[in-house]
């Protein structure tokens, strides 16, 4: 794990790469079981890449349900089967007696958690329904939040800890858009996706506020491909769902799905 290996990752990922390397080495050499915090898909990819490079460990990822985005990694020596290890997940169920609960959004719940001093990687996916919210957490975090989580965006809330088997995931909703672009450049597609000028969309990208497949991307000319997921802080997220040929004028037909 020397300088040449770091070239495969963004500079800001170096601390996580180092941490992952330590987790896997300790599991392989000291026979430790390691349950990580919740990892985004990019971090899951890094863990898998380094585990394959080092070897001698087994890994499973678990976020409480099959389609989870944020998952814990359970790392064990290769003579143990990670699938049989407990992921130690619970669900914090949040409710309120207020009839305005349905007006809250995902950002309100995340903001309330961060307001308690909780880092994003200590919490899994957040599933907001009209009259309750399910937050995937560890058993330890569930106990802490069951005592201290009492307000979301000025609304008083009640909490209860339930089994991960009782999790009710939210099915993601999308707005589908179709348009044509001169090329598959990040700034060009993002400009149409967010309905802002290409000049304006370049600023947050260059400022490091854009991620492509959960990896920081600062180059507006980055070429996208079908399946790529793009997020820009403050603007939301979209997926390039289809690249559908070329028009008679030489432009590329693109379909995207915006998360709403």
CB atoms within 10 A of CB 18: 13
In this structure, whether the domain defined by 89-166 belongs to CATH 3.30.70.330 is answered with yes
Sequence ranges of the chain with CATH classification 3.30.70.330: 89-166
Q: Are 50 and 9 in contact (CB under 8 A)?
A: no
Contact between 89 and 138 (Cβ < 8 Å)? yes
Looking at the chain, the domain(s) classified CATH 3.10.290.10 span 174-259
What's the mean per-residue pLDDT of the chain? 94
> What architecture (CATH level 2) is domain 174-259?
Roll (3.10)
pLDDT tens-digit map of 151-203: 999 999 999 999 999 999 998 888 999 999 999 999 999 999 999 999 999 99
Residues linked to residue 94 through DSSP beta bridges, in sequence order: 133, 159
Positions of CATH 3.30.1370.160 in the chain: 3-84
Phi/psi of residue 93, each to 5°? -95, 125
pLDDT value of position 198: 93
Answer with the residue of higher pLDDT: 243 or 11. Answer: 243
pLDDT at position 114 over 50: yes
pLDDT band for position 132 (cuts 50, 70, 90): very high
- Predicted pLDDT of residue 160: 98
Does position 138 have pLDDT exceeding 80, yes or no?
yes
Give domain 3-84's CATH number out of 3.20.20.10, 3.30.360.10, 3.30.1370.160, 3.40.1390.10: 3.30.1370.160
Alpha-carbon distance values, 255 to 64, 180, 221, 245, 252 (Å): 31, 9, 19, 11, 10
Q: Are 214 and 41 in contact (CB under 8 A)?
A: yes
Angle formed by the axes of helices 186-194 and 198-206, nearest 10°: 110
Residue 94 CA, chain-centre distance (Å), reads 21
What does each C-alpha distance from 165 to 13, 171, 218, 255 come to in angstroms?
A: 33, 17, 40, 36
Percent residues over pLDDT 70 in the chain = 98
Predicted confidence band of residue 1 (pLDDT cuts 50, 70, 90) = very low
Distance CA 170, CA 158 (A): 20
- Please report, rounded to a whole number, the percentage of residues in the chain having pLDDT higher than 90: 88
Flag whether pLDDT at 2 surpasses 60: no
**pLDDT at position 97, please?**
93
Q: Give the model confidence (pLDDT) of 31-85 as tens digits.
A: 999 999 999 999 999 999 999 998 899 999 999 999 999 999 999 999 999 999 9
Residue 133, pLDDT score? 97
**Global pTM value:** 0.85
């Amino acid at each position: 794990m020397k300088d040449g290996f770091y070239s495969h990752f963004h500079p800001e990922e170096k601390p996580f790469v180092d941490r992952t390397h330590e987790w896997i080495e300790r599991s392989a050499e000291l026979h430790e079981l390691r349950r990580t915090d919740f990892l985004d898909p990019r971090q899951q990819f890094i863990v898998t890449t380094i585990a394959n490079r080092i070897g001698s460990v087994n890994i499973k990822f678990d976020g409480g349900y099959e389609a989870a985005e944020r998952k814990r990694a359970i790392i064990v020596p290769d003579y143990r089967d990670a699938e049989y290890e407990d992921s130690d997940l619970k669900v914090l169920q949040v409710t309120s007696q207020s009839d305005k609960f349905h007006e809250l959004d995902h950002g309100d719940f995340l903001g309330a958690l961060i307001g308690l001093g909780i880092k994003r990687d200590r919490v899994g996916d957040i599933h907001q329904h009209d009259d309750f919210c399910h937050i995937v957490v560890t058993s330890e975090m569930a106990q802490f939040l069951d005592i201290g989580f009492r307000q979301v965006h000025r609304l008083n809330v009640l909490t209860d800890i339930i089994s991960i088997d009782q999790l009710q995931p939210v099915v993601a909703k999308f707005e589908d858009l179709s348009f044509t672009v001169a090329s598959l450049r990040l700034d060009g597609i993002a400009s149409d996706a967010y309905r802002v000028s290409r000049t304006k969309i370049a600023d947050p990208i260059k400022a490091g506020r854009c991620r492509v497949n959960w990896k920081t991307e600062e180059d507006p000319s980055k070429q996208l491909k079908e399946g790529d997921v793009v997020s820009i802080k403050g603007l939301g997220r979209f997926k390039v769902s289809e690249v559908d040929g070329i028009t008679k004028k030489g432009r590329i037909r693109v379909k995207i799905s915006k998360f709403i």
